[in-house]
Amino acid sequence: VLGLLVWTLIAGTEYFLYPAFGWVMFVAVFYWVLTVFFLIIYMTMTYTRIPQVPWTMVGLCFNGSAFILYLIAAIVDASSVTKELDSHNYNSWAASSFFAFVVTSCYAGNTYFSFISWRSRTLQ
């Protein structure tokens, strides 16, 4: 839900005029789609039918890459928000920056828990 909020706040503005917001938009939409994909896989328990895939490693790599790229996108988003660019879009961009950092912290927590899960599997 928070990732959806990030990209809808940006999509409602003229973000295409500023390449930095295009990058944030790419990261937000890309990881939102992948998160929904993995949510469906876990909700339908499809992962139990594909035991060849190391799901703990997939989760760790996904969450780790989401954390890193979302952190970069959040920093880019926050550094690109200025009133001089376009005051009409300022509030949406500022809110998207805040929520991008919230999403980054969520992916950081998921990365930590994925690492713990992966570590417990490798120690067995």
pLDDT, tens only, 18-71: 888 889 999 999 999 999 999 999 999 988 898 899 999 999 999 999 999 999
Residues 67 and 45 in one domain: no
Residues 62 and 110 in one domain: yes
Residues 73 and 33 in one domain: no
Q: Extract the tokens encoding 39.
A: 């949510």
Q: Which of 32, 50, 68 is the last residue of a domain?
A: 50
Number of domains making up the chain: 2
pTM to 2 decimal places: 0.86
Q: Which residues contact 5 (CB under 8 A, 6 or more apart)?
A: 96, 99
Residues 15 and 61 in one domain: no
Residues 27 and 45 in one domain: yes
User: From residue 101, how far is each of 6, 21, 28, 44, 58 by CA, in Å?
Assistant: 10, 15, 12, 30, 23
pLDDT confidence band for 102 (50 / 70 / 90) = very high
What average pLDDT does range 94-101 have in this prediction? 93
Residues 7 and 59 in one domain: no
